[in-house]
Amino acid sequence: MSIEEAELLLEDYNITIAKRNLTYDFSDEIEENKIIETSPEAGSEVEYGSQIKVVLSNGPLFEISDYKGQSIDDVRNLLTDKTKLYVRVKHQPSKDYAPGTILGQELLAPGEKINPKQSQEIVLIVASEVEEEIPNLIGIPIDQARILMEDRGIKVVLKKLPLSGFSNSQLELLEYDVVKYTNPIAGSKYIQTESNEFVIEYYASEDKPEIEVEDDND
């Protein structure tokens, strides 16, 4: 019950509650600002006109969950709404989790109970996009280059270069089915998103025209 309800019960006995010496404790069963216990204890005999002390509920402690796999936005909103925790974010590049996904936590472990009204800090480790540096692939067979980049989680597009306009002698000198150009170029920083593509350009041997050999007797 509340202090007000208790005072109504006690007024017939001229017993008062020491409001200047109120103490608080946390309770999972008793709601906030309700009486948890009294001193003397319930059932004790007290003199008419005496004063008693009470302990009020601060409500329940807040239990820290395992936030791995959850969205940083959802967890931040929850902790801000329910506690006075300061949420500090550490970003960690990850190919296995979508950006914004929590990978782990520090300072406060799952199952730990805290005072929700006390300022504390929790560190959430959050997945971020992976930034890759484009290697020099020029001259490497296109299938080898494609596998190398796809193993890094990069979306690869193979693009044939046109062979029109080359003379027979120039066609003979071209290197086929190897990387001629890349976009982005070597040394560039690349982040894989839904719309980004890594383009490999090459001359395809299957498109090489047959070269007619001139007859010296003509």
pLDDT at 39: 87
User: Considering only 4-13, 68-77, 179-188, which range has the smallest mean pLDDT?
Assistant: 4-13
* Pairing of the two strands 113-114 and 85-93: unpaired
CA-based Rg of the chain, rounded to a whole angstrom?
37
* Residue 74 is assigned to a structural domain of this protein: yes
**Model confidence at 214, in pLDDT bands (50, 70, 90)?**
low
Inform me whether the pLDDT recorded for 64 exceeds 60: yes
Residues 143 and 197 in one domain: yes
- Three-state SS for 25-64 is ECCCCCCCCCEEEEECCCCCCCCCCCEEEEEEECCCCEEC
Q: pLDDT (tens digit, 9 = 90+) per residue, 125-159?
A: 999 988 899 999 999 999 999 999 998 889 999 99
Residues 184 and 197 in one domain: yes
Last residue of a domain, one of 128, 162, 184: 128
Do 103 and 68 touch, CB atoms closer than 8 A? yes
Q: pLDDT (tens digit, 9 = 90+) per residue, 2-21?
A: 888 888 988 888 888 888 88
Mean pLDDT score of the chain: 91
The pTM is what?
0.60
User: Residue 50 has which token pair?
Assistant: 């005496």
Residues 192 and 144 in one domain: yes
The residues that bridge with 133 in the sheet, in sequence order, are 189
Residues 138 and 203 in one domain: yes
Higher pLDDT, 145 or 26: 145
pLDDT at 10: 86
pLDDT at 217: 55
User: Residue 28 has which token pair?
Assistant: 């999972």
108: CATH: 3.30.10.20
Q: Which residue segment(s) compose the domain that 82 sits in?
A: 62-128
Residues 142 and 190 in one domain: yes
Q: How many domains are contained in the chain?
A: 3
Q: pLDDT (tens digit, 9 = 90+) per residue, 76-132?
A: 999 999 999 999 999 998 888 989 999 999 999 999 999 999 999 999 999 998 889
Residues 124 and 79 in one domain: yes
Last residue of a domain, one of 79, 94, 128: 128
Residues 140 and 186 in one domain: yes
Last residue of a domain, one of 108, 128, 148: 128
